[in-house]
Structures are given as structure tokens and as C-alpha cells.
């Protein structure tokens, strides 16, 4: 097949990781694969040399002149590659992609990567989306937020767990908690800090390690000091080898207000970490975690529930170990090979 993946940029993030996984696999099996970046020119993830990488611009920051140039550049490229299937990632880029292909023969598949309810222009989005050929949603709950004419042309495909993860660690774990994600409002690290402050009073030997960068970093550091846990909270920044660093940790916590499907949660489970996640829209965490069987789910924005879940794992090693052993099964459920085949079959239908 001939596939063009379109994305804003290949910075560190969940959508970017999924795209890189698919692109590498398809290029390796002989497909002609291009990654078209419309607002950046670097990749945080290793890409197969056979993947063609093209950047046509930088971030617009809302500048209509830059956005117009972007649309024109996208249209020229798609017109010159009319025999390629286009797979677009992310709401704004999906809209740009569809608009740039009006009147062209290109087939556009739209991939939603987050909670559709967070979009501030749903009517406009749905109107433009109606011109897409196909749609990929991460969960059934996400699909239900769209009109029937879009749902009929859609498929639900969860994220893949890449095949080259470190092996599960089943020995005695360190008294460290991992949190992985951009330091932005969606991830609600403030909630995590509040819960950890209460937890730390009963388990002072534990540390919280937060991996990621973002605009809230200084506010989060300040809040940690205010809660008198600054000495036990480590801001690790963006790390390329996160999995190697956290594989021996005592637990992983996701505190988001909403998510698509968290790759870092899936990978933590696959490596056998005891995992806690807020049961956030659009059901991605609940897709991975069966509460009290292979992880723990807590209500969104509930500090007390999150603290109790952390205390339960820290205070009951046998229970935590049982969760670990069950969690490893996600390696098979969401295996890269299985998920990539589902994507390939769907793209091939267009």
C-alpha cells in the first residue's frame, strides 16, 4: 500500500508513538510510507530508514497567513500523490487534511486520539469530518459522540503495545511512584500531588517521580513545596528511556481528567507495574484495567480515592503482586502485531 500519515509533529506523545509504531511496521513489510509533519520537523521516536519523512511548516500559533500556507502546501503534496491513502492524526490536523483535499481523489481516514467532548467547535468539526472516507476511534465511547453517518464509516482500534518493551520485572520493587505525561491541565498532576501529600504522611519512604515537560512545571514544583513534599517529588523532564527507568518502581499512577488511551499506562501494565488510573473519559483506562484484578480505577478528580488506592498498593504487597501478574496479559491483548493488522486491514479497504 501507499500511505501518508499526517500529524502536527513527531514530538513525544501518545499519538506520535502509535504513528511511529505503525509506520515502522508497514515500511518494514514493504509498504510505501510517508510521515507528513505540518508543524514541526523533528521526531522523538526512531523511524525506519525506509519511512519517508517530510516537513512542510512550523507551528502557526493561530496565524491565519501561516495556516493558509500550510493548507496550500498540503494540497499540492496530496494532489501529487493522489494514489496514496491519507491517515490523519489529531482533531485540528484532521480538519486541515480534509479541507486541503476538497475536490481531490485522495482517500482520507481520520483518527481521533482524545476525548471528542473536549473539542470547542463540535458542529464545525462534525460538518468537515463528514467529508472524510473513514474514521478510527480508540474506544466505543469515543465513537458514540459522533453523528450516525460518521459512526457507520468507522472502526474502533485500540492502541498497540510495542513489541520491544523491557521484560516484566517480577522481583521486589523500589518504593517509587511513576507518573508519565505532559505537564498540562489534562493530566491533572495537581491532583496527584495532593494525593501523594496525604499518602506520604503514612508512607514517608516513598518518592514520586514525574516524567514529562509542559507549561505547568513551575506551578507544580511550587505546589509540591507548599505541600511540604518537595524533597520527595522528582521532576524528571522528558526521558527517552523512561521504561528502563521505571520498570523496577513500586507503582504507576495516571491522574488525568480525560484521555484517549494512555500508552504509558499500557506499557507500565505490560511491564508488570502495579497501576492506578482515574476512570476518565473516553473509557481508555477502563478498557485496559479491570478494577482490582489487573489494576485500580478511581473516580476523576477524587483526591481521597486516589490516596487510598496508593496506600492499598503500598500496604499490601501480595495484592500488588497479583495485580502485576494479571496486568502483564495486556501484552497479548493489545499486541503490536494484532493492532497493526487491524489498522492495515482497515486502510486497505480504501
Residue ranges of domains in the chain: 2-160+335-348, 174-333
Indicate the pTM of the whole model.
0.92
Summary mean pLDDT of the chain: 96
Q: In CATH, what is the architecture of 2-160+335-348?
A: 3-Layer(aba) Sandwich (3.40)
Q: Per-residue pLDDT tens for 219-251?
A: 999 999 999 999 999 999 988 889 999 999 999
Pick the closest to residue 294 from 259, 253, 329 (CA basis): 329
| Per-residue model confidence (pLDDT) at position 240 | 81
Q: Cα 77 vs. chain centroid, distance in angstroms? A: 28
**In this model, does residue 59 exceed pLDDT 90?**
no
**In this model, does residue 62 exceed pLDDT 90?**
no
Pick the closest to residue 69 from 39, 91, 32 (CA basis): 39
**How crowded is the C-beta side of 62, counted as CA atoms within 13 Å?**
0
Cell triple for 106: 485522495
Q: What is the largest CA-CA distance in the chain?
A: 63
* Equal CATH topology for 2-160+335-348 and 174-333: yes
| CA dist., res. 223 & res. 157, Å (int) | 38
Residues 296-317 as b or e (16 or more Cβ within 10 Å = b): bbbebeebebbbbbbebbbeee
Q: Per-residue pLDDT tens for 26-46?
A: 999 999 999 999 999 888 889
Percent of the chain with pLDDT over 90: 91
Topology of domain 174-333, CATH: Rossmann fold (3.40.50)
Q: Per-residue pLDDT tens for 264-289?
A: 999 999 999 999 999 999 999 999 99
| Per-residue model confidence (pLDDT) at position 284 | 96
Amino acid at each position: 500500500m501507499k500511505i501518508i500519515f499526517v500529524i502536527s509533529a513527531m514530538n513525544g506523545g501518545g499519538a506520535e508513538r502509535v504513528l511511529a509504531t505503525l509506520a515502522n511496521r508497514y515500511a518494514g513489510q514493504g509498504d510505501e510510507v510517508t510521515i507528513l509533519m505540518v508543524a514541526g520537523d523533528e521526531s522523538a521516536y526512531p523511524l525506519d530508514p525506509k519511512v519517508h519523512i517530510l516537513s512542510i511548516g512550523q507551528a502557526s500559533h493561530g496565524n491565519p497567513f501561516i495556516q493558509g500556507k500550510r493548507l496550500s502546501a498540503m494540497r499540492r503534496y496530496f494532489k501529487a500523490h493522489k494514489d496514496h491513502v491519507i491517515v490523519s492524526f489529531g482533531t485540528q490536523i484532521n480538519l486541515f487534511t480534509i479541507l486541503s483535499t476538497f475536490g481531490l481523489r485522495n482517500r482520507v481516514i481520520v483518527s481521533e486520539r482524545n476525548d471528542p467532548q473536549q473539542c470547542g467547535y463540535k458542529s464545525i468539526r462534525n460538518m468537515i469530518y463528514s467529508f472524510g472516507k473513514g474514521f478510527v476511534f480508540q474506544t466505543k465511547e469515543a465513537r458514540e459522540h459522533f453523528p450516525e453517518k460518521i459512526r457507520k464509516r468507522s472502526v474502533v482500534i485500540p492502541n498497540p503495545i510495542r513489541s520491544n518493551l523491557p521484560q516484566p520485572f517480577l522481583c521486589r520493587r523500589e518504593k517509587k511512584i511513576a507518573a508519565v505525561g505532559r505537564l498540562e491541565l489534562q493530566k491533572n498532576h495537581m491532583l496527584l500531588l495532593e494525593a501523594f501529600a496525604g499518602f506520604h504522611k503514612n508512607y514517608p519512604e516513598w518518592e514520586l517521580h514525574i516524567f514529562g515537560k509542559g507549561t505547568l512545571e513551575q506551578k507544580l514544583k511550587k505546589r509540591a513545596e507548599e505541600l511540604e513534599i518537595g524533597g520527595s517529588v522528582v521532576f524528571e523532564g522528558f526521558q527517552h528511556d523512561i521504561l528502563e527507568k521505571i520498570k523496577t518502581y513500586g507503582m504507576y499512577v495516571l491522574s488525568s481528567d480525560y484521555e484517549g488511551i494512555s500508552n504509558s499506562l499500557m506499557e507500565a501494565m505490560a511491564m508488570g507495574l502495579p497501576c492506578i488510573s482515574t476512570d476518565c473519559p473516553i473509557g481508555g483506562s477502563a478498557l485496559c484495567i479491570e478494577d482490582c484484578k489487573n489494576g485500580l480505577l478511581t473516580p476523576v478528580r477524587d483526591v481521597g480515592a486516589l490516596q487510598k488506592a496508593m496506600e492499598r498498593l503500598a500496604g499490601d504487597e501480595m495484592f500488588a503482586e497479583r495485580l502485576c501478574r494479571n496486568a502483564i496479559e495486556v501484552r497479548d491483548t493489545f499486541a503490536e502485531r494484532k493492532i497493526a493488522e487491524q489498522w492495515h486491514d482497515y486502510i486497505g479497504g480504501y
